[in-house]
Structure 1
């Protein structure tokens, strides 16, 4: 088997929608018939792991079959979060090796903070997906702006972490890491602040070399399907735990745009076929 594609969803700020994106990327790939392994490094929250546990329970209770990812065992997340870094790395390396031997894609969700596990995952990535909300609070994880002119002064610590990972990958393998920043949870209306943030994001993208793509809006559908372990990619004539509306059609189009921005065209074909 060829080496899997490693996708890391990360930034160092909580609340940007990393787990929501990771869940939807995983399901988009699964519906495209890909073998996906997930590793949830947000050891205290484990939102992605909980989502797929909910999915297994919902399927069993409703006699339905949906694609599921492989999930190498990291053990008890809260206990591992308190463990020595040597133990953490040993568990992660074992999980990654297991995923690498079985999957076409490895999807890693990282915590909203700087940890050894998160830095290690970033260094293993073929693609880093960084969500950000439409605010200078979120932009601060990418770059530092002048408080008077709002001009970008320098990259942030997180941007430097990604930059270092890309340099090491280029030096060791002769190729870089594809870094995609997704504008996530956009408000439905245009605003002056959005324009200002967008200008700074585009300027920083040219400076440090990331791509900018569309994320997912702040829609109720993404939250109300979570308890079932379902996404909009799963909805069909047989699987409708909630009433379907035009909002769900728009949400599916958002997911297609997201997968297209990441270069996962097979997943887009699968989502089109599901409509």
Structure 2
């Protein structure tokens, strides 16, 4: 299987970008794919820290936790050349997951331009929506694409020039409320309108659950059932969401049967 690059990108913090990245990375590793991860935010290093915590927790408890290989690339002079080198070295693996920084940079743009799949998590808020589209304050109809949508459009063009490839852009609605609130309906209508205009898929992502906040210090994920001492019905529902997301991403070679129960 040729290398498939997944880039998670959003210039808004607090959308669950790194949590989503790690869950996808661990799921692909558990499913038997050769998987690696790049963290391009050398200051926060959220994804790298998450996986370091995972390795340390497994060592303390004597556990065997599937963990993708991971490195951090520092932004600055020579960063784009290092990224290009890492992409060449990744040709022998199945999936490379890149967590881009929450800011615009030449390094982030270079990563997006080489992606096969771009995942943009957003919260169900018009504050987050403003990144990809501006709406009329009275009708909530979309007026024009936002600055991040323009950035992704440019990287799609760059990818087409580079090798003639295309990028599947997925907007992930994280932290969806279980209540059918008016805001949720308006967000859905605006996303439907914008997706037809600029070409992205929208998928439900990870709901707002307290369990995610407790995973990071131990580096755990929903898929580590044997290590979750307080496994509950809330975990069951969240695992179902994650499995649905993985199936909907339409990643090459993905088969739900490859993922352990």
TM over 0.5, shorter chain: yes
After superposing the two structures, state which structure 1 stretch, 201-210 or 180-189, moved more: 180-189
Partner of 2:178: 188
In structure 1, the partner of 2:233 is: 246
Q: CA deviation at 1:172?
A: 3.8
User: 5 Å matches for 1:137-152?
Assistant: 137-152=127-142
Q: 1:258 aligns with which of 206, 220, 245?
A: 245
State whether structure 2 residue 56 is matched by structure 1 residue 40.
no
Distance 1:234 1:31 in 2: 10
**Corresponding residue of 2:80:** 89
In the TM superposition, what is the alpha-carbon distance from 1:111 to its structure 2 partner?
1.4
CA contact (8 A) 1:232 1:251 kept: yes
Q: Structure 2 CA distance, aligned partners of 1:111 and 1:97?
A: 21
Q: Is the 8 Å Cα contact of residues 110 and 118 (structure 1) preserved in structure 2?
A: yes
Q: Which runs of 5+ in 1 are unaligned?
A: 75-79
| 2:213 corresponds to | 223
Counterpart mapping for 1:111-190 below 5 A: 111-190=101-180
Distance 1:89 1:167, change over 3 A: closer
* TM superposition shift of 1:90: 3.0
CA RMSD of the aligned region, Å? 1.7
Tell me if the contact between 1:29 and 1:267 (Cα under 8 Å) persists in the aligned partners: no
- Give the structure-1-normalised TM-score: 0.89
Q: What SS does structure 2 have at the residue aligned with 1:86?
A: coil
User: 1:7 touches 1:127 (CA, 8 Å); kept in 2?
Assistant: yes
- The residue that corresponds to 2:257 in the other structure is 269
Gaps of 5+ in 2: none
How many angstroms does 1:267 deviate by?
Answer: 5.5
Query: TM-score normalized by structure 2?
Result: 0.94
C-alpha displacement of 1:255: 0.5
How many Å separate the matches in 1 of 2:13 and 2:182? 24
Q: Once the 2 structures are TM-superposed, how far is the Cα of residue 73 of structure 1 from its aligned partner?
A: 5.4
Partner of residue 54, structure 1 = 53
